[in-house]
A and B are shown apart, each in its own frame.
Chain A
Amino acid sequence: MCALRLEGKVALITGAAIGIEGEVMGIGGASARLFAREGAKVIVTDLDTERGETTAAQIEAEGTPGGAVFVPLNVTDEQQWERAIATAVSTYGRLDILVHCAGTAAAGTVENTAVDEWDGMMAVHAKGVFLGTKHAIPHMRKAGGGSVVVVSSIDALVGGSHGTAYSAAKGASRSFTKSAAIQYAAENIRVNSVHPGYTDTPLARKVVSEIMADGSSDPRIPRVPLRRLAVAQEIAGPILFLASDEASYITGAEVVIDGGITAQ
């Protein structure tokens, strides 16, 4: 009855470096910690090698039922994906779960968005999700099934006043999710997206500080029916649910985790 929820599973999580005890966590880092506590072997991947290694080492040192290893990964680079997934399979023997959490953000209207900013957003959020899924599917097939969780955003569902390229890229990952879900459902490989609202992560702090640079107040909290920001751990919970067998009949779905913002 109290069995671990990811017992025996191997999970690769991108953008997972910011999971250091005592610091504000990112969604990927909080997910890595939660997954390991629930018995998963976690491949922590990120561009940030220093923090990624610290996160993985802390998970190992805590003696969680699972475990963690860090592998550097730029999600826009296909060869690095091949290497990261090969490391996952050679280290832990299989791959069951892939969580696409790597992301960057930038504010900008249509006119203010430079073309290379646009390309960068698309590379990380759309191409990165495509490449990782492409190379993970054969291993999930071998494992008899799997779960891919794409961390999208409420910006994929509704328009925001900032972040043209970010919204478009997150929208792309949402549609990709549904398409992949249908293609691999018969093989019991599930693909779902989560759509966080305002979450207090280091990345969000950076973006909001840019918006508030002109002295305006934090625009977020008055828009949230639950009247607060989320912490990354509150996004990790639904990611864990979708990754686990508890969601065995859920595919192609989008789980919104926004404190009620888009219900209004």
Chain B
Amino acid sequence: MKLKGRVAIVTGASSGIGRGIALELAQEGAKVVVSDITEVPKQGKYHEQDTTTPTVAEIEKLGGEGIFVAADVSAESQVSALVKASIDGFGRLDILVNNAGIYFDTGAVTTSSEDWDRLIGINLKGVFLGVKYALPHLRQSPAGRVINIASVHSFGGGGGPAYASAKAGVLNMTRDTAVEAASDGVTANTICPGYIETAIQDALTPDQVELANKMTPLPRLGLPRDIGRAAVFFASDDAQWVTGTALPVDGGLLAPVMPGY
């Protein structure tokens, strides 16, 4: 087991990518603080239709240890309470995975100012708040890690102004965290998922889902555990000299000059 004795916080971990990350970290021996706005997993219309058990119950089935802590990552007091819950529950914090995020596909004209603030609050400010409160504890760890979940949308347009801005922001914030935290051996990296089979894809039309399938070079779409394995890599000793980087886990989506060409 690569992460025995380590303690991780994963935000947005009741379903989707966060759940996949929490399970893979637990599989490698980490104790996981599972955080989300609710413990009840989402069901999607395309994917995750049958997900019903809470993530902590799945961790326990693997023989692992986890606790659920409710938090809205856009609220400062809730993020500081989340970090405190990790310290109170497990006595330490080694890995912070900022995964919580929302998506809606509206354009510049149709996105309301309130929706912009909500998305930026969760997808971007939430990452900042997580690092702000976790970093003092990560600095105490022999293997402190920040792992932020951005997107292939970090690199290009097409996801609406709020999502594209937030995800590009996460990418560069991670580099900044990497430079700031390096002196204590803490690393910070970004994972940039392509199309992953989760309930967040409910925002897409069936035609858009079909298009994603066609555009992805590898002969399948991504699964939450694909992102989970990349998170294990960054958290593990394999990646101790890797910091400030971005890893696409996208089935090759970003590699072509013209996707689908």
Contact A263–B237 (Cβ < 8 Å):
no
Please determine whether B179 and A235 come into contact, CB atoms closer than 8 angstroms. Answer: no
Q: Give the contacts of A1-17 with B (CB-CB under 8 A).
A: 1-2
- A182-B252, A246-B232, A260-B187 given; name 17 further pairs at CB < 8 Å: A186-B219, A225-B179, A227-B182, A227-B183, A238-B238, A241-B239, A249-B194, A251-B218, A252-B254, A253-B250, A253-B254, A253-B255, A257-B241, A258-B242, A260-B179, A263-B179, A263-B244
Shortest C-beta distance, B155 to chain A (Å), equals 12
B interface, size bucket:
35 or more
B156 at the interface (CB under 8 A from A): no
> Which residues of B line the A interface, CB within 8 A?
1, 27, 174-176, 178-179, 182-183, 185, 187, 194, 217-220, 222-223, 226, 229-230, 232-233, 236-245, 247-252, 254-256
Inter-chain contact A238/B218, CB cutoff 8 Å? no
Cα distance A247–B236 in the bound complex, in angstroms: 14
**Contacts of A211-238 to chain B: CB distance below 8 A:** 225-227, 230, 234-235, 237-238
B187 contacts across to A, CB distance below 8 A = 226, 260
A-B pairs with CB below 8 Å: how many? Answer: 132
Please state if A1 and B1 are interface contacts (CB–CB under 8 Å): yes
Rounded to whole angstroms, the CA-CA distance of A182 and B223 in the bound complex is 20
Q: Do A1 and B27 contact each other (CB < 8 Å), given the known contacts A181-B217, A250-B247? A: yes
Q: Report if A262 contacts B (CB, 8 A).
A: yes
Residue of A nearest to B226 (CB): A249
**A31-B222 Cα distance, complex, nearest whole Å:** 28
The 9 closest A-B pairs by CB, nearest first: A263-B244, A252-B255, A237-B238, A185-B217, A225-B182, A249-B226, A263-B175, A234-B241, A256-B245
A-B contact pairs, 13 of them (CB 8 A): A185-B218, A186-B219, A226-B185, A237-B236, A238-B242, A250-B249, A251-B251, A253-B249, A257-B245, A258-B242, A260-B182, A262-B244, A263-B176
Nearest-Cβ distance from residue A151 to partner chain B, whole angstroms = 14
A197 to B185, CA, bound (A): 16
B131: min CB distance to chain A, Å: 14
Known A186-B217, A237-B238, A264-B179: A225·B251 in contact at CB below 8 Å: no
Q: Please name the residue on chain B nearest to A177 by beta carbon.
A: B255
Tell me whether A182 and B241 are in contact in the complex, defined as CB-CB below 8 angstroms, given that A251-B255, A263-B175 are known contacts: no
Give the size range of A's interface with the partner.
35 or more
Whether the pair B242, A185 counts as a contact (CB closer than 8 A) is no
Q: Which of B220, B242, B244 has the most CB of A within 10 A?
A: B242
Find out whether the CB atom of A252 lies under 8 angstroms from the CB atom of B217. yes
A225 vs B220: C-alpha distance when bound (angstroms): 38
**B245 contacts A263, CB within 8 Å?**
yes
Mark interface residues in A173-186 (1 if CB within 8 Å of B CB, else 0): 00000100110011
Contact yes or no, A258 B241, CB < 8 A: yes
- How far in angstroms is the closest Cβ of chain A from B86? 24
Kindly list chain A residues whose C-beta atoms are within 8 Å of the C-beta of B183.
225, 227
Q: Which of B182, B233, B243, B251 contacts A249 (CB 8 A)?
A: B251
Please indicate the chain B residues that have their CB under 8 angstroms from the CB of A230 in the complex.
241
Knowing A182-B256, A259-B182, the reply to whether A225 touches B248 (Cβ < 8 A) is: no
List residues of chain A with CB within 8 A of the CB of B240. Answer: 234, 237
Q: Is A109 an interface residue (CB 8 A)?
A: no
Does A165 belong to the interface (CB within 8 Å)?
A: no
